[in-house]
Chains A and B, each alone.
Chain A
Amino acid sequence: MNTILSGERVVKSFGDGAERRNVLDGVSVEIRQGEFVSIMGPSGSGKSTLLYALSGMDRVDGGRILFEGRDLSGLRDDDLADLRRRRMGFVFQQPTLLGNLDLLDNIILPAVLFGDEPTGALNSASAREILDILSEVNAAGTAVLLVTHDAAVAARAGRVLFLRDGRIDRELELGPSGGQSPEERTRRVSEAMRELGI
């Protein structure tokens, strides 16, 4: 599969002066076409920051983000907006659906779908529903990149990236979802989390 989205030695800092710190500290990541990837890590590890950097919503302070071969740092805000509108989708944790669009309109059908704790504010039944939709979207060829702290959600992915202090600490390959049961996949993710102290 071709790489659709990549981050190369990405640096993102916050704060001023003596309080400035790198939330992303030279992290590199590749997302392939049609891949389902979860990002996990302790609070403050840079999960959401990495997600927003890869989607072009946040400008990075170092390194580069390439989407379908284009360096996002060279694009103007309006071009990034056009790119997100045509080729990317988002699922939000807060109920920020635009009231005048239905669910599918909100996520549309792009090349990459990003989600930041998409099931964080939902009960388990609604969370399962959302995850099933995301799996369907992924099966149809859209790459999915989710930030989550929930092992069961992460287990839906084919690959899990564990972040710590702005860098990738470990990668866990789970493979296609048909290969193992959801419980086994969840157990493997939980074990990795324990080993990493998350």
Chain B
Amino acid sequence: MYARIIRNDIRRSRLASLATALFVAVSALLVSLAGALGAELSAALELLMERAATPHLLQMHSGPIDLPRLESFAAGRPEVEGFQVLEFLNVEGFSFEFGDRTLAGSVQDNGLSVQGRGFDFLLDLDGNVARPGEGELYVPVFYFKDGTARAGDRVRILGREFRVAGFVRDSQMNSALSSSKRFLVSEADYAALRDRGSVEYLIEFRLRDPGTLGSLEAAYVAAGLESNGPRVGYPLFRMMNALSDGLLIVVLLFVGLLVTFVALLCIRFALLAKIEQDYREIGAMKAIGLRVSDIRGGYLAKYAVLAVPGVLSGWALSFAFREPLLANLRLFMGEGGASRLAPALGLAGALMVGLLVLGYVRGVLGRFRKISAAEALRFGAPRQVSRRPGRLRLAAGLPLGANAALGFLDVLARIPLYGTMLAVLVASSFIAVVPRNLHTTVASPSFSSYLGIGACDLRADVQAVGDIPGRASEIAAALAADPETLKSVVLTARAFPVRGKDGSESSLKVELGDHSVFPVAYSEGRAPGAPDEIALSVLSAQDLGMRVGDRLAAAVDGEWRDLRVAGLYSDVTNGGKTAKAAFSGGEAPVLWAVVQASLRDPSRSREKAEAYASAFPYAKVSSLQEYVSQTFGPTIRAIRSASRISLGVALVLAALITLLFVRMLVARDRVSIAALRALGFRNSDLIRQYLARSALVAGIGVLAGSLLANTLGESLVGVPISLFGAASFEFAADPLSAYILIPLAVALAALAATAAGAAGAGRIDVTQTIRE
């Protein structure tokens, strides 16, 4: 009997049934993809870092090192399993010649390295430890992805010839977020070129128990060992590697869950309409003694019949989409060996969607308990009574016309009924606008403020050369004399011992200079202005236990000073642990210098960057746009793809749900429609009335959705970004697309679907309907 009932019901409501199955399939597809990709990412990352034997702690250092002291430290630490010091030979970008191109325009610190002895291995694309012979070069996979190099290419580095033997995955520096890239050469080649570049040391530790990272790091800092460079731990390596693909997975899951939410709304509406239609029958079933669970089972069975193929087809489809989405992951991290786990997790995700749908249906059907059999038999479904009696006088002439007025009034009289459509349009706008806002934000020049960099046009980094301050002053003087320069500033970084709230000492890299010229975004407080003020990055503040207003003790030229914490800012580079101050630095060695400038014509920033780069070859000069594009390029592209997918999904959702809703509304309103037609309203009038209803609901829906996207959406997106050290995050939305174009597109999709759905009003038999 159930089978017959289900078959008949599906036949009678084909569109609703198809829409339900489709939504379940799409939800299952997206959630399944997120689950499978998550499994692949996790497995690939673990395998890469295991095979590469990534160091648990890396301290980069420029300048002389005391190797015996370092070895002694490592030997004396019981948690240390392995210790080594590798060299990274910094080479200027223009010294890498790939045919007629160089890496002069690259914002990466490109350098040469030999293979690690005990750990920190650079792996070829087969996952093996790469062993270049003399004259052979292994290029970071980053440069394969952007098309710079191919296997077999001839490359000249510092005038020496190499052949590209392959590409390497670097578990430390794979990601574009890592500002350095290691080219692997043989020991002989390295020795030949060592004196032609500047050496930076990679002081690396492997631990017996990764959980002891914190204590090793604290001991290293307390010992006052070499620390003239970033210090990065294993968790940050993992996070940087996972970011681009991780964000894509988060977006897939986010959209999948939103589609599930919309599917549930759609199901709710169809189910409530069906219950209303079947009210007397439900009363009769209760009267003859069917239990609520029996009656509910019939309806639940129908949705199980729709959900199961939806879940399975969504899961099956995910296999087709998986490979293109995995391409980036496989290139940078290799195979994860999650070939069994990924489909299983994908299926688990899809099943979760199915169970959620069935659980929700079961919940909605709980209202059967409240249905009085007696009232259902006598009166049928309770009708919503309009609260305000009609005061509309059509003869009076109305602004916008009678059709629009009737349409608006209907919405106001039956607000709960239109609630579902409203919720769907809010959700659709949300789905469309949030990823778009995220894309415009990360692609905007102002995003640099989350990198701890002020919004300038040009940036020149000077490091790993002798007399950094002098070199930086040269560039600053040239910029100051340049009529195209609007303003410029020099910031120099030095390391100072500081004391945290718990009294422990550590070393803090502080950028000194006038921070008011190109301020970064401060999540709290402001830039330091007075000599006794300091601003901390969010992660530094967390490490030191400091908040705005607290006093931080810092030793400058051997004297301890109390510095007031003036502000906290975001910084996702350099491990996220930096500070800014305005006092003069004393005698501490300069670690690096940055010269920032803004131009009268910012559109010339790329051109000016190239000119200054060739005039000052010891500095890395780039336009900020170029810097952000290179650092965040893959991430930006991933988010752009996700935003386009989301927009498509949102428009389809809005159109499909509206079509479904309007068709159901027409069926429900057939008596009213017959009466209106009897009164003389034409089919086109009826369509205009439905369009007016949709216009009102869509107008409110897309407005609310856009507002929600810019508030709640901003908060939601800020959560994962805060993990990287961005304390507060705000969308840099493009007002035209976020507030006008996208909401308009969603509203137009809804209106087009309304016109299509309302066309059925003209097919109602007037006399038959009235007689009924």
Binding site for B on A (CB under 8 A): 48-49, 52, 55, 57-58, 77-78, 81-86, 88-90, 92, 94, 96-100, 106, 108, 116
* A–B Cβ pairs within 8 angstroms, 17 of them: A52-B373, A55-B287, A57-B372, A78-B291, A81-B291, A81-B292, A83-B289, A85-B288, A85-B289, A90-B284, A90-B287, A92-B280, A92-B284, A94-B280, A94-B377, A116-B377, A116-B378
B97 contacts partner chain A, Cβ-Cβ < 8 Å: no
Q: Interface 1/0s, chain B 356-387, versus A by CB < 8 A? A: 00000000000001001110011010000000
Kindly list the 10 A-B residue pairs having the minimum CB-CB distance in the complex, ordered from nearest.
A85-B289, A84-B289, A52-B374, A96-B284, A57-B373, A57-B374, A81-B291, A58-B374, A96-B280, A90-B287
Selected contact of B287 from candidates A78, A84, A86, CB within 8 Å: A84
- Once A98-B281, A100-B4 are accepted as A-B contacts, the answer to whether A86 and B377 lie under 8 Å apart by CB is no
Q: List the B side residues contacting A48 at CB < 8 Å.
A: 374, 378
Selected contact of B283 from candidates A78, A84, A96, CB within 8 Å: A96
Q: Please provide the chain B residues from 283 to 298 with a CB less than 8 Å away from any CB of chain A in the complex.
A: 283-293
How many positions in chain B have a CB within 8 Å of any CB in the partner chain? 24
Q: List the A side residues contacting B293 at CB < 8 Å.
A: 78
CA distance A53 to B283 in the complex (A): 14
Report the minimal beta-carbon distance from A113 to chain B, rounded to whole angstroms.
11
CA distance A183 to B687 in the complex (A): 57
Report the minimal beta-carbon distance from B293 to chain A, rounded to whole angstroms.
8
Query: Which single residue of chain B is at the shortest CB-CB distance from A59?
Result: B372
Q: List the B side residues contacting A97 at CB < 8 Å.
A: 284
Report the minimal beta-carbon distance from B584 to chain A, rounded to whole angstroms.
80
Selected contact of B372 from candidates A58, A84, A86, A99, CB within 8 Å: A58
Consensus secondary structure, chain A interface:
mixed
- Once A48-B378, A58-B372, A96-B280 are accepted as A-B contacts, the answer to whether A106 and B289 lie under 8 Å apart by CB is no
Selected contact of A81 from candidates B284, B289, B374, CB within 8 Å: B289
CA distance A50 to B151 in the complex (A): 91
Q: List the A side residues contacting B291 at CB < 8 Å.
A: 78, 81-82
Query: Which single residue of chain A is at the shortest CB-CB distance from B289?
Result: A85
- Once A81-B292, A82-B291 are accepted as A-B contacts, the answer to whether A98 and B285 lie under 8 Å apart by CB is yes
Q: List the B side residues contacting A106 at CB < 8 Å.
A: 288
Query: Which single residue of chain A is at the shortest CB-CB distance from B285?
Result: A98
Consensus secondary structure, chain B interface:
helix
User: Is A85's CB under 8 angstroms from B290's CB?
Assistant: yes
Report the minimal beta-carbon distance from A188 to chain B, rounded to whole angstroms.
29
Q: List the A side residues contacting B289 at CB < 8 Å.
A: 81-86, 88
Q: List the A side residues contacting B288 at CB < 8 Å.
A: 84-85, 88-90, 106, 108
User: Is B292's CB under 8 angstroms from A77's CB?
Assistant: yes
CA distance A81 to B380 in the complex (A): 20
Q: List the A side residues contacting B5 at CB < 8 Å.
A: 100
Q: List the B side residues contacting A108 at CB < 8 Å.
A: 288
Q: Please provide the chain B residues from 278 to 324 with a CB less than 8 Å away from any CB of chain A in the complex.
A: 280-281, 283-293
User: Is B377's CB under 8 angstroms from A96's CB?
Assistant: yes
B1 contacts partner chain A, Cβ-Cβ < 8 Å: yes
Q: Name, among A48, A81, A90, the residue most crowded by chain B CB atoms within 10 Å (CB to CB).
A: A81
Q: List the B side residues contacting A94 at CB < 8 Å.
A: 280, 377, 380
Query: Which single residue of chain A is at the shortest CB-CB distance from B288?
Result: A90
Report the minimal beta-carbon distance from A105 to chain B, rounded to whole angstroms.
9
CA distance A103 to B287 in the complex (A): 15
CA distance A94 to B292 in the complex (A): 21
Report the minimal beta-carbon distance from A8 to chain B, rounded to whole angstroms.
20
Report the minimal beta-carbon distance from A93 to chain B, rounded to whole angstroms.
8
Q: List the A side residues contacting B1 at CB < 8 Å.
A: 100
Q: List the B side residues contacting A85 at CB < 8 Å.
A: 288-290
Q: List the B side residues contacting A55 at CB < 8 Å.
A: 287
Selected contact of B286 from candidates A81, A83, A89, A99, CB within 8 Å: A81
CA distance A66 to B232 in the complex (A): 80
Query: Which single residue of chain B is at the shortest CB-CB distance from A108?
Result: B288
CA distance A116 to B377 in the complex (A): 9
Report the minimal beta-carbon distance from A57 to chain B, rounded to whole angstroms.
4
User: Is B369's CB under 8 angstroms from A77's CB?
Assistant: yes
CA distance A98 to B604 in the complex (A): 78
